[in-house]
Amino acid sequence: MLNKVKATTRPRPELPGKQPKKMGNIITIKLNLDTTELDDKLNRLEEQLERIKSLEDTLKFSKDFNKVKNITINNNVDIKDIMKRCVEAVMNMEPLQ
């Protein structure tokens, strides 16, 4: 993962009127990193998150579908009951003259 390391030193700039510190140099380290492995892991995580999102959407659709199905079944029972009552009412009517 680590391709190249470069370290350099330079004198620390002193501010006017300030007491100099014991450490007189600044150390700068530059790292060149190979991020292929990190990119691969991030891509896998992204795919897993998309899969989870898809499963959540599917679950929500399934719940909504079940609600619609239950409403339809309940309405169907009500319609059958209404039809039965209408037939009974018609059968109890006196014939037209």
Per-residue three-class SS string for the chain:
CEEEEEEEEEECCCCCCCCCCCCCEEEEEEEEECCHHHHHHHHHHHHHHHHHHHHHHHHHHHHHHHHHHHHHHHHHHHHHHHHHHHHHHHHHCCCCC
Could you tell me the residue ranges of all domains in the chain?
Answer: 2-6+20-92
Instruction: Give the predicted TM-score (pTM) of the model.
Output: 0.43
The mean pLDDT of 53-76, rounded to a whole number, is: 84
The mean pLDDT of 46-57, rounded to a whole number, is: 92
What percent of the chain has pLDDT above 90? 13
The mean pLDDT of 23-27, rounded to a whole number, is: 64
Q: Is the pLDDT of residue 15 over 80?
A: no
Predicted confidence at residue 12, as pLDDT, reads: 62
CB 5 within 8 A of CB 29: yes
Q: Could you tell me the pLDDT band of residue 48, with boundaries at 50, 70 and 90?
A: very high
